[in-house]
Amino acid sequence: MFAKRLLRARKAAGLSMSALAEEVGISTNMIKKYEHGQSMPSSGKLYKLSIALGVRSEYFFRPTKVELSGIEYRKRSTTPQKLLDRISADVLDQAERWAELLEFYPDSIRPVPKFTLPNNLPDHIDTFADIEHTANQMRSEWHLGANPIPDIIDTLESKGVMIICTPIEVNNKFDGLAGKIGEIPVVVISTHQTGDRQRFTLAHELGHLVLHGRLPEGMDEEKACNHFAGAFLLPEKALKDHFGYKRSAIEPQELYMLKHEFGISMMAILIRAGQTGIISSSLQKHYYIEFNKQRWRTEEPGEQYPNEQTFLYKQLVYRALSENYIGESKAAELLKMPLSHFHKERKLGKMDATTY
């Protein structure tokens, strides 16, 4: 157990064996022995390892094990393996803490709903028009209407999708990761991404859950899920209400304002305008060229759409503490906080939460 966790924590920290050995003040060969299960560190060395790797000592002996299956990355072809190793290690750590937290809840309480798709989705989705209809149907079943979705993380979590936000710096080399823990769908996004990229990744992965097994042979599922994501975030009706049914030109400022209303990139809005027939393919191509000239495909102009965060895990830790399922020490461990820091946070700084 210790050997595997040490290896995972080192990869998550992005450290080589020699770099970790230097931090701890031991030889590289000793780190190698630790990771191969040939030796165990003393309590003093264990403490130094935990400090160097940014984990609590308890991490190395956590009994809960989870398997993240069906992993699929949304990444660039140039994404280095070292970065994927860091992301995978961080995700497994967060997933294990999630699983451990849920085990503290009694069987009679289900703090996270079971993910299920609506029963009346079509068995076969053959065309992109069908994808538009299915995206609208999902919005209808989830009572989202045609208005902007204010918080897509909260929307998916309320339906039983586990969202993990990784703080690993990705340098635009990674969009997301999807898989399953048992029957729970898991989607991973980066905290360093802009909100519109996060939201498109989340909607894209929802597309996989909805469309998988329903598409005809030969239809590219990635392209289908991109279409679903655009339609789910910005329905055709809403787009035509804002832009009209036919346009011979669109101002960049219109794209910018709609981006901040619906949380979808300016480029994705242009794609939606073409998909829904609002602009012609030639006009769409003209704007693509303009975006390239302005370098807006790399970074769009103006203020970026704010990224989203997940609060569910932390809320459930405090709920478990309040219900006496766990104590303060375990709560601090689950939140990866020093106990002294947790005490201050629990009391809301100078406010004494026990007076309420």
- pLDDT category at 356 given cuts 50, 70, 90 is very low
Does the pLDDT of residue 54 top 70, yes or no?
Answer: yes
pLDDT of residue 353: 46
- Residue range 12-17: mean pLDDT, rounded: 85
% of the chain at pLDDT higher than 90: 65
Q: What is the mean pLDDT of the chain?
A: 90
Does the pLDDT of residue 89 top 50, yes or no?
Answer: yes
Assigned token pair, 320: 């478990």
Strand partners, 179: 186
Alpha-carbon distances, residue 68 vs 71, 72, 180 (angstroms):
7, 10, 6
Greater confidence (258 vs 60) lies with 258
Greater confidence (174 vs 151) lies with 151
pLDDT of residue 74: 67
Does the pLDDT of residue 64 top 90, yes or no?
Answer: no
pLDDT, tens only, 290-303 = 999 999 998 999 99
Does the pLDDT of residue 75 top 90, yes or no?
Answer: no
Query: 1-61 has which fold?
Result: 434 Repressor (Amino-terminal Domain) (1.10.260)
- pLDDT category at 88 given cuts 50, 70, 90 is confident
pLDDT, tens only, 224-255 = 999 999 999 999 999 999 999 999 999 999 99
- Residue 63's identity, in one-letter code, is P
pLDDT of residue 355: 39
Domain positions in the chain are 1-61, 330-356
Does the pLDDT of residue 354 top 60, yes or no?
Answer: no
pLDDT, tens only, 182-240 = 888 999 998 988 999 999 999 999 999 999 999 999 999 999 999 999 999 999 999 99
Could you give the CA distance from residue 53 to residue 41 in angstroms, rounded to a whole number?
15
- pLDDT category at 350 given cuts 50, 70, 90 is low
pLDDT of residue 77: 58
8 Å CB contact between 231 and 135: yes
> 80-93 in b/e burial notation, b at 16+ Cβ within 10 A?
eeebbbbbbbbbbb
pLDDT of residue 224: 96
Could you give the CA distance from residue 124 to residue 122 in angstroms, rounded to a whole number?
5
pLDDT of residue 134: 97
pLDDT of residue 351: 47
Could you give the CA distance from residue 49 to residue 217 in angstroms, rounded to a whole number?
51
% of the chain at pLDDT higher than 70: 95
What's the pTM value of the predicted model, to 2 decimals? 0.83
> Cβ contacts of residue 80 below 8 Å, gap of 6+?
173
Could you give the CA distance from residue 240 to residue 235 in angstroms, rounded to a whole number?
9
Of 13, 82, 88, 85, nearest to 49 (Cα)?
13
Does the pLDDT of residue 143 top 70, yes or no?
Answer: yes
